[in-house]
């Protein structure tokens, strides 16, 4: 799929933003140092590569930032500090270029567009990543945004707005090792890998449940007329439903029949699985009994051998004494 | 020799294209900004200056606190003259910039040019002035052109003033250069005033030899004046005797 282009500025909107763990670590560290326990947010610069489709955020640094909580138009960002830091980072790693900026939100703020415009002096299309340092819900702690000119249908003046971009967290091998090293004290050694896997599965299902609830809320609002119909979203949802496995065969008579058929299908499947578990447990029990009988027979044979006296060089001694 | 961090606020609203100051209000401001920057930097080797605009509908920091004249020049280059000025927001942003100064020993000062009508409510301005006073920020205002602002600005300065640290200089249009007029005002005389606290205008800690030479010269001059006074008194006595 070709990258989307905003018609006003003809800028290529990235399809995905990849954030590295180092960036998250840097943001959290900066927040804990300067804004912990306050409503303030921390702002920083993102460094990495932007190849049009994918923005790879590999590094970051915080910058001095201050704002008035009551007045959104009063904020200060030290861009001279940013310029000098960029110069120094160029000397260390020329591949890591300025790709955007981050803040610890946790939501978009009214001054974000103005800050984004300030960064346009240094880079044509900066990406904004909001890093939630205190995530309350399951899922990724990052939200990526990109500023575009939104052209109104009624022909009025175009306004600048943020569009949401899909973001993911990916790590290089060295970073993975580093993260594991950092988490070595936090991981509970008594909890096995199975428990960890089950917890992860549960969290995944919880996240999936949240997404499905969001979809249901959206569709309900569309039906009630609170939101306009968006054919692109509906097409995506249709493709999601098409990908679901078809567990019902034949015509649907009623909802009850549908439920009973589904129930029967699940029962058959679970019975098959339970049958295999049952057979395997019986086999294990039989093998265990067989091993037990074998060991009993072997021990009896050993006892009989120990009782018989053995003559060696005219001396009478038992096997047990020889062993001693 | 006051150790200061100064933010200079330029008014680049569309009112600045007026030609009642030579050559225009905006160009006159730029000359004055250069003069103030040089004065502040030469006043103390650790002084720093920053620059920001309050016009173009939104205040913008052009240069954070620096001693680099080149950075200051490049920040002032190609400034747009448009929109309306937001004086209150500009003062608040300048205060945030001063809050992030490297050397916390530096005193904080804002030098603001106001050449367009102030749209802010006077109560809000006084509240802002009190906040500046609380944060130990001194404010100098160079008021040009729109003289209907004067009472509001005077109230603002009165509210922000502590131990005569804030000044309001209203300069009506005249054939003289704005920079010269500001230089003669209390804002421009900051350097001279600070030099006058030492005898002969030289800090003996910075230049011991010069201070000593001036003292010797002064002693010689006093001796010469005493001799001259004695001679004149003797001459008058001789004249009286002759008469």
CB B11 within 8 A of CB B29: yes
Bigger pLDDT: A153 or B114?
Answer: B114
Number of domains in chain A: 3
So what's the pLDDT on residue A288? Answer: 94
CB A41 within 8 A of CB A115: no
pLDDT digits (tens, 9 = 90+) for A199-211: 878 878 878 897 7
**Crossing angle for the helix pair B122-134 and B87-99, nearest 10 degrees?**
10
Are A169 and A230 contained in the same domain? Answer: no
Are A162 and A29 contained in the same domain? Answer: yes
Bigger pLDDT: A150 or B108?
Answer: B108
Report how far Cα A92 is from the mean position of its chain's Cα atoms: 30
In angstroms, rounded to a whole number, what is the distance separating the alpha carbons of residues A105 and A27? 11
In angstroms, rounded to a whole number, what is the distance separating the alpha carbons of residues A61 and A22? 10
Helix (H, G, I), strand (E, B) or coil at A44: strand
Bigger pLDDT: A279 or B190?
Answer: A279
Q: How much is the mean pLDDT over chain A?
A: 79
List Cα–Cα distances, A96 to A28, A165, B151, in angstroms.
21, 21, 54
pLDDT digits (tens, 9 = 90+) for A209-223: 977 888 998 898 899
Residues of B in contact with A75 (CB under 8 A): 93, 96
Answer whether residue A310 is part of any domain.
no
Cβ–Cβ below 8 Å for A76 and B63 = no
Q: How far apart are the first and last CA of chain A?
A: 81
Judged against a pLDDT cut of 90, whether residue A283 lies above it is answered with yes
Average pLDDT over residues A156-176: 80
- Nearest neighbour of A64 by CB, restricted to B89, B93, B100: B100
Residues of A in contact with B101 (CB under 8 A): none
Cβ–Cβ below 8 Å for B64 and A68 = no
Bigger pLDDT: B183 or A274?
Answer: A274
> Is residue A269 very low, low, confident or very high in pLDDT (cuts 50, 70, 90)?
confident
Return the top range by mean pLDDT from A194-198, A293-297, B196-200: A293-297
Q: Is the dihedral of CA A276, A280, A285, A290 positive or negative?
A: positive
Average pLDDT over residues A275-279: 89
Answer whether residue A93 is part of any domain.
yes
Is the preceding peptide bond at B184 cis, omega within 30 degrees of 0?
A: no
> Is residue A70 very low, low, confident or very high in pLDDT (cuts 50, 70, 90)?
confident
Q: Which residue has the tokens 């910058």?
A: A63
- Nearest neighbour of A74 by CB, restricted to B63, B71, B92: B92
pLDDT digits (tens, 9 = 90+) for A95-112: 888 889 999 878 788 888
So what's the pLDDT on residue A10? Answer: 47
Strand stretches in A20-120, DSSP E: 43-50, 54-62, 65-67, 75-77, 97-103
Are A211 and A174 contained in the same domain? Answer: no
**Crossing angle for the helix pair A21-34 and A173-182, nearest 10 degrees?**
40
Cα nearest neighbour of A66 on chain B: B96
Answer whether residue A315 is part of any domain.
no
Are A201 and A286 contained in the same domain? Answer: no
Are A63 and A207 contained in the same domain? Answer: no
Judged against a pLDDT cut of 70, whether residue A258 lies above it is answered with no
Residues of A in contact with B97 (CB under 8 A): 76, 78
Judged against a pLDDT cut of 70, whether residue A309 lies above it is answered with no
CB A147 within 8 A of CB A11: no
Are A213 and A273 contained in the same domain? Answer: no
Q: Is residue A114 within 8 angstroms of chain B, CB to CB?
A: yes
So what's the pLDDT on residue A185? Answer: 61
- Mode of pairing for the β-strands spanning A127-131 and A142-150: antiparallel
Average pLDDT over residues A265-277: 85
So what's the pLDDT on residue B17? Answer: 80
Strand stretches in B20-162, DSSP E: 48-53, 60-66, 107-114, 137-144
CB A41 within 8 A of CB A105: yes
CB B77 within 8 A of CB B33: no
In angstroms, rounded to a whole number, what is the distance separating the alpha carbons of residues A76 and A70? 14
Give the CATH number for residue A100: 3.40.140.10
So what's the pLDDT on residue A227? Answer: 85
So what's the pLDDT on residue A247? Answer: 59
Going by C-alpha positions, the residue among A184, A47, A175 that lies closest to residue A102 is A47
Return the top range by mean pLDDT from A13-27, A304-318, B178-192, B228-242: A13-27
Q: Which residue has the tokens 């949802």?
A: A237
Are A25 and A156 contained in the same domain? Answer: yes
- Nearest neighbour of B100 by CB, restricted to A66, A71, A73: A66
Residues of B in contact with A79 (CB under 8 A): 61, 64
Q: Is residue A266 within 8 angstroms of chain B, CB to CB?
A: no
Domain stop point among A158, A183, A208: A183
> Is residue A62 very low, low, confident or very high in pLDDT (cuts 50, 70, 90)?
very high
Strand stretches in chain A, DSSP E: 5-6, 11-12, 16-19, 43-50, 54-62, 65-67, 75-77, 97-103, 127-131, 142-150, 159-165, 167-169, 310-312, 315-317
Q: What's the domain range around A20? A: 16-183
So what's the pLDDT on residue A110? Answer: 85
**Which parts of chain B sit beneath pLDDT 50?**
191-196
Are A94 and A158 contained in the same domain? Answer: yes
Judged against a pLDDT cut of 90, whether residue A286 lies above it is answered with yes
Average pLDDT over residues A128-137: 83
Bigger pLDDT: B215 or A28?
Answer: A28
Are A284 and A212 contained in the same domain? Answer: no
Report which secondary-structure segment, H or E, holds A79: helix A79-92
Which of A42, A65, A74 is the best mutation test for B, with the most CBs of B within 10 A? A74
Are A201 and A178 contained in the same domain? Answer: no
Residues of A in contact with B59 (CB under 8 A): 73
CB B29 within 8 A of CB B110: no
What count of other Cβ atoms lies within 10 Å of the Cβ of residue B218? 12
Answer whether residue A265 is part of any domain.
yes
So what's the pLDDT on residue A1? Answer: 43
Are A96 and A26 contained in the same domain? Answer: yes
So what's the pLDDT on residue A61? Answer: 92
Bigger pLDDT: B194 or A167?
Answer: A167
List Cα–Cα distances, B106 to A298, B51, B109, B128, B233, in angstroms.
93, 17, 9, 21, 54
Are A21 and A42 contained in the same domain? Answer: yes
Q: Which of residues 224-253 of A touch B (CB under 8 A)?
A: none
């Amino acid at each position: 799929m070709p990258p989307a282009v905003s018609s006003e500025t003809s800028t290529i909107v990235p399809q995905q933003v990849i954030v590295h763990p180092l960036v998250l670590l840097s943001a959290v560290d900066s927040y804990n140092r300067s804004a912990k326990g306050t409503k303030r947010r921390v702002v920083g610069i993102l460094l990495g590569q932007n190849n049009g489709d994918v923005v790879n955020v590999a590094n970051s640094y915080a910058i001095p930032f201050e704002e008035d909580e009551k007045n959104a138009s009063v904020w200060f960002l030290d861009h001279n500090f940013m310029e000098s830091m960029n110069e120094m980072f160029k000397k260390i790693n020329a591949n890591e270029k300025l790709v955007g900026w981050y803040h610890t939100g946790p939501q978009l703020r009214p001054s974000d567009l103005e800050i984004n415009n300030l960064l346009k002096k240094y880079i044509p299309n900066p990406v904004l990543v909001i890093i939630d340092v205190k995530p309350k819900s399951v899922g990724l702690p990052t939200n990526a945004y990109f500023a575009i000119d939104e052209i109104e249908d009624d022909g009025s003046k175009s306004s600048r707005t943020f569009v949401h971009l899909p973001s993911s967290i990916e790590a290089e091998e060295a970073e993975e090792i580093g993260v594991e090293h950092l988490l070595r004290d936090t991981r509970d050694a008594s909890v096995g890998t199975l428990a960890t896997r089950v917890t992860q599965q549960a969290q995944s299902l919880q996240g999936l449940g949240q997404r499905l609830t969001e979809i249901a809320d959206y569709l309900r609002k569309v039906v009630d007329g609170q939101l306009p119909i968006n054919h692109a979203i509906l097409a995506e949802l249709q493709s999601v439903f098409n990908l679901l496995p078809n567990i019902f065969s034949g015509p649907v008579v009623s909802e009850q029949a549908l439920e009973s058929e589904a129930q029967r299908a699940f029962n058959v499947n679970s019975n098959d699985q339970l049958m295999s578990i049952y057979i395997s447990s019986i086999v294990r029990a039989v093998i265990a009994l067989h091993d037990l009988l074998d060991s009993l027979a072997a021990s009896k044979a050993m006892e009989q051998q120990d009782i018989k006296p053995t003559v060696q060089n005219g001396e009478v001694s038992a096997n047990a004494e020889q062993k001693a | 020799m006051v150790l200061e961090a100064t933010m200079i606020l330029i008014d680049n609203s569309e009112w600045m294209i007026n030609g009642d100051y030579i050559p225009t209000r905006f160009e006159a401001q730029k000359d004055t900004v250069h003069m103030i920057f040089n004065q502040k930097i030469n006043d103390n080797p650790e002084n720093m200056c920053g620059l920001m605009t309050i016009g173009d509908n939104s205040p913008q920091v052009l240069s954070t606190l620096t001693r680099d004249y080149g950075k200051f020049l490049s920040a002032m280059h190609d400034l747009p003259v448009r929109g309306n000025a937001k004086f209150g927001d500009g003062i608040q942003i300048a205060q945030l910039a001063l809050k992030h100064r490297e050397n916390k020993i530096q005193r904080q000062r804002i030098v603001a040019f106001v050449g367009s009508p102030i749209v802010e409510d006077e109560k809000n301005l006084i509240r802002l002035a009190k906040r500046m006073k609380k944060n130990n920020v001194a404010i100098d205002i160079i008021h040009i052109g729109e003289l209907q602002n004067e009472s509001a600005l005077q109230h603002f300065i009165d509210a922000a003033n502590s131990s005569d640290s804030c000044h309001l200089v209203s300069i009506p249009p005249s054939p003289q250069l704005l920079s010269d007029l500001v230089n003669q005002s209390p804002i421009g005389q900051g350097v001279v005033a600070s030099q006058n606290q030492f005898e002969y205008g030289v800090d003996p800690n910075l230049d011991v030899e010069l201070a000593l030479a001036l003292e010797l010269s002064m002693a010689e001059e006093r001796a010469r004046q005493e001799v001259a006074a004695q001679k004149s008194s003797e001459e008058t006595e001789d004249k009286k005797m002759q008469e």
